[in-house]
Amino acid sequence: MNYEAVIGLEVHVQLSTDTKIFCSCSARYSGNEPNSNVCEICSGQPGVLPVLNKEVLKRAVKTGLALNCTIAKRTKFDRKNYFYPDLPKGYQVSQFDMPICENGSIIVNDSRAEVKKDKKIGITRIHMEEDAGKNTHDTAGIHSFVDYNRAGVPLLEIVSEPDMHSAVEAKEYLEKLKVILKYINVSDCNMEDGSLRCDANVSIRPAGQLKLGTKVEIKNMNSFRGVQKAIEFEIERQTKLSEAGSKIIQETRLYDEAKGITLTMRKKEEAFDYRYFPEPDLPPYDITIEEVNAIKATLPELADAKFERYTRDMLLGDYDAALIANNPPIAAFFDECVKTCNNYKALTNWLLGDIAKKMNELSTADIFTTKIRPQHLVQILNLIDNQTISGKIAKTIIDEVFSTGDCVDAIIERLGLIQISDNSLILTVINEVITENPKSINDFLEGKQAAAGFLVGQIMKKTKGKANPKIVNEMLYAELAKLKKA
Amino acid sequence: MISKEEITRIADLAMLDLTDSEKNEYAAQISSLLDYFKQIQSLDLAGVEPTNHALVADNVLREDKAFPSAGQKCVIAGAPDTDGQSYRVPAIIETEE
């Protein structure tokens, strides 16, 4: 039987605010001594009064708008009750029935396709909540240790509809979500650091059946690749069980990255019953249209709009346009370049070719951490355009920009890289090469066209690549034609 | 009347160990509470805005400005068990093969 997988994702992103969601402790806890970033409020002492961080609300609304959600007119917090050592109060302050955002969507692009394929993935809801502390375990397995520095750091939980049907699609959704969150600058979105976490709900059903199968929740994935691998494993596990006639149990499973498998998580409570109730210490919030509009006005141009502009106005190919639009720093770099350069195709080729290669060598994904700046690239392209330098020299200059960050003029002057367009100088070199290579001349005269290529190579070598290749070609063929006649 | 099984489950969720006589005692008390809510539920409240909060003040926000925290010593002073930095608790084991 053919089975169809049904996947929904729950993504937690830490907001990169200065302080925690309900108290004035710093939210930047990384590298701090355990329990040093903790106060009466985030450690849940009796009688304290939490107050919502303005910036958390603002970023939640901004995220909702960027993900095409409806923003609630009134929103409130609720207590989600359960016991776990990393939860200091015995409940997590979260949102239950009146989340800040609902009914959104993301357009997912198939990055492998040469032509952009779109699919809309629904977003059920986004709510604000507080992060828990962190447990570490001793090797003997006797004790665990709890650090509450992370407790109270603001989180957004972004819940998707079960609209995905493959592990690759789930990964693409995550990638697109990350791009959008990066554009609006609300979170660092780093899975390795835990500022973006993802749980997956996976079920299978016979192809064509409408009713959903029993869903299994998978946790503990630490990378986008891990999410994809865990879902792939889980789909296969469930398919094998179904084919063998076994029942799939509704449970939570943990992904073991090293082994590439999912394992049953021991059930802490018989069945989850969080006994949500309104958080009595936090009053509800009424959001006005004016507030929403003010936040809307701060939204930058997002990936889909950029893609539109690149393909429609600049006539870039879908593949190139998507590569640029889905990489916020590259898009910012490109957009800066096009303010003063309208050779979009050349910009794209250099950006996605040689410059991307240099970035790979440096293992950086953010072009602004390197030494090249938009004005470098624009000037290099102008110099190629007016034939001051060749493409080959441009590569040398880019190398030099990456290592020194110097301005293009200084590099050209220092390395003596101006292209030779002086015909008499080039002619002298051509004649030298003709005299030094009688065999190649003979070959050429006997009809071997390849010999001309060798001669061009020799000329470029003598001029250290600085001769204008177009002029070299024209003049060499003219000289060779003279020899033919003679 | 709420059943003893339900009382046991609620107690488990709240991590409370109750004796048999306590369970009976609480079952009677909770039942009378539930009866009272039944009275409220019988009212016709169509068109009445739900009161989802008791506080009158709405829209209270705080600036995103950090202040020094209480500090590690102060925080773990009240912990039943520590290693000097963190709260020490019985090992949490999460998976089984």
Q: For each successive 10 residues of chain B (97 residues), what is the average pLDDT? A: 88 90 93 93 88 78 94 88 93 60
Inter-chain CB proximity A76 and B53 less than 8 Å: yes
Whether residue B84 lies inside any domain: the answer is no
Identity (one letter) of the amino acid at B17? D
CA proximity to A77, closest of A291, A289, A285? A285
Helix, strand or coil, per DSSP, at residue A179: helix
Q: Which residue has the tokens 């603001």?
A: A154
Is B73 touching A (CB cutoff 8 A)?
A: no
- Predicted pLDDT of residue A472: 86
- Tell me the per-residue pLDDT of A225-281, one tens digit each, with 9 for 90 and over: 999 999 999 999 999 999 999 999 888 899 998 999 999 886 544 456 889 999 999
Return the CATH number at B34. Answer: 1.10.20
Q: Give the C-alpha separation, A210 to A180, whole Å.
A: 31
Which residue among B13, B92, B96 places its CB closest to the CB of A269? B13
Chain A residues near residue B50 by CB distance under 8 angstroms? none
- Spell out the residues 6+ positions from residue B4 whose beta carbon is closer than 8 angstroms to its own: B23, B24, B27
For the record, the structure tokens of A298 come out as 């701060």
In this model, does residue A357 exceed pLDDT 70?
yes
For residue B8, report the phi and psi dihedrals to the nearest 5 degrees.
-60, -40
Point out which residues pair with A255 in neighbouring strands. A262
For residue A471, report the phi and psi dihedrals to the nearest 5 degrees.
-65, -40
Q: Give the C-alpha separation, A227 to A171, whole Å.
A: 7
CA proximity to A170, closest of A142, A207, A210, A202? A202
Whether residue B53 lies inside any domain: the answer is no
For the record, the structure tokens of A477 come out as 């063929």
For the record, the structure tokens of A312 come out as 């429609």
- Tell me the per-residue pLDDT of A26-73, one tens digit each, with 9 for 90 and over: 999 888 999 999 999 998 889 999 999 999 999 999 999 999 999 999
Inter-chain CB proximity A266 and B88 less than 8 Å: no
Domains defined along chain A, listed by start? 3-292 (no CATH), 301-415 (no CATH), 423-485 (1.10.10.410)
Q: Taking the CB of residue A339, how many other CB atoms lie within 10 A of it? A: 9
Question: Which pTM value belongs to this model?
Answer: 0.84
Q: In a 10 Å sphere around its CB, with 0-12 CB exposed, 13-18 middle and 19+ buried, how is residue A34 labelled? A: buried
- Predicted pLDDT of residue B93: 65
Whether residue B68 lies inside any domain: the answer is no
The domain of B8 spans 4-41
- Tell me the per-residue pLDDT of A156-199, one tens digit each, with 9 for 90 and over: 999 999 999 999 999 999 999 999 999 999 999 999 889 999 99
Whether residue B46 lies inside any domain: the answer is no
Whether residue B28 lies inside any domain: the answer is yes
**CA angle, residues B51, B52, B53, in degrees to nearest 5:** 95
Consecutive H or E run containing A237: helix A224-243
Q: Which residue has the tokens 């502009």?
A: A309
**A379 vs A184, A333, A391, B86, CA distance in Å?**
30, 14, 13, 56
Q: Give the C-alpha separation, A292 to A279, whole Å.
A: 24
Percentage of residues in chain A having pLDDT higher than 70: 97
What is the DSSP annotation of A396-462?
Answer: HHHHHHHHH---HHHHHHHHT---B--HHHHHHHHHHHHHH-HHHHHHHHTT-THHHHHHHHHHHHH
How many separate domains does chain B show?
1
A425 vs A146: which has the higher pLDDT: A146
Whether residue B60 lies inside any domain: the answer is no
Whether residue B11 lies inside any domain: the answer is yes
Inter-chain CB proximity B52 and A286 less than 8 Å: no
Is B57 touching A (CB cutoff 8 A)?
A: yes
Whether residue B81 lies inside any domain: the answer is no
Question: For all residues of chain A together, what is the average pLDDT?
Answer: 91
What ipTM was assigned to the predicted interfaces of this complex? 0.87
Q: Give the C-alpha separation, A247 to A203, whole Å.
A: 12
Inter-chain CB proximity B72 and A33 less than 8 Å: yes
- Predicted pLDDT of residue A116: 55
